[in-house]
């Protein structure tokens, strides 16, 4: 990009209204994408006639298809925009949410937990909890998960509408409805089959479109050393370009967190909770054709997850270095200002001309649809199998439940549209997302991991532990909102920022869940051994892999992720 073009774009970025108008090639690229995703949905409608097909894609996916879908379901507009915003706020510390929050939790899912999910042949994580603890725990987790997926889907809607408003000047309501209805159509037609194949397409589109910003941006600043120098010049600190060296104290880094919050709150509770119990992603691995493929799917995804900061975190760091103005929290935006959440569309406008702009916008649309489709398909599965079938209509035909899944998809989209407008109350959409994780996912992980690993955990222990963990997390959040001074108690420091509070709140809620589960279990009656077959370690026979060459074994590739992770931590210490 020439100096003249850079100057022109900088002036454009400081103007209110839309930044760029689409050329004909851009419109054509976007239109072709919509035609492709709808075509996939229509084509796959004939492959989603039974509940197994509609909700689990027939359990016919290869490890690569399931793995790419596993990651793509997590690569929504929330990921692309939210973590670019978080990188602008907190610097390279945001990369922890891809590295320490991906390894070892994803590998643990593949090697340890997927055998239980897959062998039990359950449709969902709440379905597993039904087998392990009983109806009450399934009902609580099912309702909690249904609420969470709708709220998460609303984030993706808001993120996509924000892109269209900032970059193209489109009406925010029009952007929400047109993209949402497209997702509703293709998921409703093809179920998880359609969602998975579209997610694989969206995976490649996201990478192809999103790489433009880091490549051109790094060329402009003169590589990593040039980027570091420009950031230090702007913020007068090197705290924004290190992973671990600034975490010795709460006040030594932009997030206001220390190493314990990152290691235990994020790398322990949040990461393990999200990747091992969030049915949005687990559902994709469960669609694999056999147990080995189910174990390999998350491990394959983890390699790509380690590379995600290239297209997500790096744009936020580049924005600190090159944007001619400062961004502000969403709740304090005034006329002529832009918020943290607008980092990615601002950078898209800076670097993308005709053709490239269409590809970049298509990548963000693909990210939005991928994230939303994942949430909506998971919502439809949990509602149908864990709420509707056991408590409303118990003995209907398979066709009836497929039809309910389709109607529930439409309902999920409508409810998600309603929740999209709540996001504006948060300074950053990632603060919103992490708050939801601390409410629902962190305590759920405590319930699931105790259920899998401890034979003595009882149905009453599981229910009361999960309820106590969830309510305590919501209560801590409410107290801090009412009395902000309590943040220093929850997050152990007056220097803590909202993201640090999320990490510690998740840790406390997990501890409360585990303690309550253990105490209640000690004083109540456990299930009989024959009731725990295939759902608890020690009562489950896991097929051996001795006949496989070592390079075909999931544990070999899991070890490779560990090496990759260690190298990244050393490089950016």
Q: What is the mean pLDDT of residues 479-504?
A: 80
Q: Pick the more confident residue, 10 or 284.
A: 284
What integer pLDDT is reported at residue 510 of this predicted model? 92
Whole-number Å distance between alpha carbons of 343 and 328: 10
Render pLDDT for 123-138 as a digit per residue (tens, 0 to 9).
Answer: 677 878 888 898 889 8
| Apex 210 CA angle, 205 and 214, nearest 5 | 150
Note whether 232 and 66 are within 8 A (CB): no
Please answer whether residues 309 and 218 qualify as being in contact, where contact means their C-beta atoms are separated by less than 8 angstroms: no
Among 303, 48, 347, 389, CA closest to 215: 347
> Could you tell me if 288 and 301 are in contact, meaning their C-beta atoms sit under 8 angstroms apart?
no
In which region does residue 277 sit, left (phi positive, over 0), alpha (psi from -120 to 50) or beta (all else)?
alpha
Burial 374-385 (b: 16+ CB within 10 A, else e): bbbbbbbbbbbb
Nearest to 420 by CA among 162, 85, 185, 79: 162
Q: Which residue has the tokens 């998809």?
A: 409
Give the pair of three-digit tokens for residue 553.
């074994």
Q: What pLDDT is attached to residue 1? A: 37
Q: Which pLDDT score is estimated for 238?
A: 61
Residue 288 β-bridge partners:
61
Tell me, what's the pLDDT at 6?
A: 35
Asked if residue 461 has pLDDT above 50, the reply is yes
Tokens 């090197």 — which residue?
238
Question: What are the b/e assignments for 120-154, b being 16+ CB within 10 Å?
Answer: bebbbbbbbbbbbbbebbbbbbbebbbbbbbbbbb
- Kindly compute the dihedral angle of the four CA atoms of residues 243, 244, 247, 248, in this order, to the nearest 10 degrees: -160
Greater pLDDT, 236 or 219 = 219
- DSSP letter, residue 278: -
Report the CATH fold assignment for 3-47+58-571: Sodium/glucose cotransporter (1.20.1730)
- Tokens at 159, concatenated: 């993120």
Q: Is the pTM of this model over 0.85?
A: no
Cβ-based neighbour number of residue 269 at 10 Å: 29
Residue 349, pLDDT score: 74
Partnered with residue 339 across adjacent β-strands are: 328
* H-run or E-run covering 381: helix 356-383
Q: Which residues contact 160 (CB under 8 A, 6 or more apart)?
A: 77, 175, 176, 179, 364, 365, 367, 368
The helix/strand/coil state of 564 is: helix
Q: How many CA atoms lie within 13 A of 223 on its CB side?
A: 1
To the nearest whole percent, how much of the chain has pLDDT over 70? 77
Q: Per-residue DSSP letters for 117-157?
A: HHHTT-SSHHHHHHHHT-HHHHHHHHHHHHHHHHHHHHHHH
pLDDT of residue 7: 35
The mean per-residue pLDDT over the stretch 439-457 comes to 88
Burial per residue of 277-297, b for 16 or more beta-carbon CB atoms within 10 angstroms, e otherwise: bbbbbbbbbbbbbebbbbbbb
Name the residue with higher pLDDT: 396 or 486. 486
Higher pLDDT, 362 or 218: 218
Q: Is the pLDDT of residue 424 over 60?
A: no
Verify cis geometry, omega within 30 degrees of 0, for the bond prior to 104: yes
Six token digits for residue 71 = 């990651």
pLDDT digits (tens, 9 = 90+) for 208-234: 777 888 888 888 888 888 888 888 887
CA–CA gap between residue 486 and residue 494 (Å, rounded) = 9
Tell me the per-residue pLDDT of 159-208, one tens digit each, with 9 for 90 and over: 667 666 666 676 767 777 776 777 677 666 656 656 666 667 777 777 77
Mean pLDDT of 69-94: 76
61 beta partners: 288
Where do the structural domains in the chain lie, given as residue ranges? 3-47+58-571
Cα 410 from Cα 412, distance rounded (Å)? 5
Mean pLDDT of the chain, nearest integer: 77
Question: What is the C-alpha to C-alpha distance for residues 110 and 564, in angstroms, rounded to an integer?
Answer: 17
The owner of tokens 């691995």 is 285
Contact between 166 and 348 under an 8 Å Cβ cutoff? The reply is no
**CA neighbours within 13 Å on the CB side: how many for 413?**
22
Most confident of 156-160, 341-345, 380-384, 449-453: 449-453
CA distance 249 to 354: 47
**What does the alpha-carbon distance between residue 210 and residue 416 come to, in Å, rounded to a whole number?**
25
Q: For residue 170, which phi and psi values (nearest 5 degrees)?
A: -70, 150
**Cα 154 → chain centroid:** 13
Question: Is pLDDT above 50 for 11?
Answer: no
Helices and strands, number each (H, E), in the chain: 27, 0
Tell me the per-residue pLDDT of 531-542, one tens digit each, with 9 for 90 and over.
888 778 877 777
Closest CA to 308 of 42, 571, 557, 87: 87
Taking the C-alpha atoms of residue 544 and residue 546, their distance in angstroms, rounded to an integer, is 6
Separation of alpha carbons 152 and 90, rounded Å: 22
> Does the pLDDT value for residue 426 go beyond 60?
no
- Looking at residue 459, its pLDDT comes to 92
Shortest CA distance to 349 belongs to which of 82, 80, 29, 19? 19
């Amino acid at each position: 990009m020439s100096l003249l073009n850079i100057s022109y774009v900088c002036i454009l970025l400081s103007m209110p209204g839309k930044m760029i108008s689409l050329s004909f090639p851009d419109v054509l690229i976007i239109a072709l994408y919509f035609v492709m995703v709808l075509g996939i949905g229509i084509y796959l409608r004939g492959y989603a006639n039974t509940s197994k097909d509609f909700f689990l894609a027939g359990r016919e996916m290869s490890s690569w298809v399931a793995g790419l879908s596993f990651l793509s379901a997590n690569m929504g507009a929330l990921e692309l925009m939210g973590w670019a915003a978080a990188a602008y706020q907190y610097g390279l510390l945001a990369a922890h949410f891809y590295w320490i929050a991906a390894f070892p939790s994803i590998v643990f899912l593949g090697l340890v937990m997927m055998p239980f999910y897959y062998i039990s042949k359950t449709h969902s994580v709440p379905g597993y909890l039904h087998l392990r603890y009983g109806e009450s725990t399934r009902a609580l987790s099912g309702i909690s998960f249904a609420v969470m997926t709708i709220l998460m889907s609303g984030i993706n809607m808001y993120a996509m509408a924000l892109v269209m408003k900032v970059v193209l000047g489109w009406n925010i309501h029009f952007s929400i409805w047109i993209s949402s209805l497209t997702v509703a159509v293709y998921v409703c037609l093809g179920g998880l089959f359609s969602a998975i194949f579209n997610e694989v397409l969206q995976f490649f589109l996201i990478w192809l479109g999103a790489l433009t910003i880091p490549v051109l941006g790094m060329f402009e600043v003169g590589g990593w050393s040039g980027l570091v120098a420009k950031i230090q010049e702007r913020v007068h600190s090197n705290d924004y370009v290190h992973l671990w060296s600034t975490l010795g104290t709460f006040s030594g880094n932009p997030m206001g967190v220390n190493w314990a919050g990152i290691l235990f709150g994020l790398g322990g509770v949040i990461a393990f909770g999200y990747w091992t119990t969030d049915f949005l992603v687990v559902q994709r691995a469960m669609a694999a054709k056999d147990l080995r493929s189910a174990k390999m799917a998350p491990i394959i995804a983890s390699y790509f997850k380690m590379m995600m900061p290239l297209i997500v975190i790096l744009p936020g760091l580049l924005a600190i270095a090159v944007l001619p103005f400062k961004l502000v929290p969403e709740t304090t935006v005034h006329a002529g200002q832009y918020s943290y959440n607008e980092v990615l569309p601002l950078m898209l406008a800076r670097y993308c001309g005709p053709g490239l702009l269409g590809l970049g916008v298509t990548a963000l649309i693909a990210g939005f649809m991928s994230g939303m489709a994942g949430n909506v398909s998971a919502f439809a599965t949990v509602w149908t199998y864990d709420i509707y079938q056991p408590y409303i209509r118990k003995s209907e035909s398979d066709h009836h439940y497929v039809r309910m899944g389709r109607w529930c998809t439409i309902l999920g989209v409508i409810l998600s549209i309603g929740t999209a407008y709540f996001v504006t109350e948060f300074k950053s959409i990632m603060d919103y997302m992490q708050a939801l994780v601390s409410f629902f996912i962190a305590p759920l992980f405590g319930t699931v991991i105790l259920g899998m690993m401890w034979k003595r955990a009882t149905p009453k222990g599981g229910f009361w532990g999960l309820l106590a963990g969830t309510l305590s997390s919501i209560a801590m959040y409410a107290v801090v909102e009412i009395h902000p001074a309590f943040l220093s108690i929850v997050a152990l420091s007056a220097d803590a920022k909202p993201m640090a509070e999320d990490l510690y709140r998740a840790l406390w809620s997990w501890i409360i869940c585990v303690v309550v589960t253990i105490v209640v279990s000690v004083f109540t009656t456990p299930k009989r051994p024959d009731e725990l077959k295939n759902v608890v370690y020690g009562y489950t026979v896991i097929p051996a892999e001795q006949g496989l060459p070592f390079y075909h074994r999931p544990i070999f590739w899991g070890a490779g992720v560990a090496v990759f992770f260690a190298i990244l931590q050393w490089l950016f210490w």
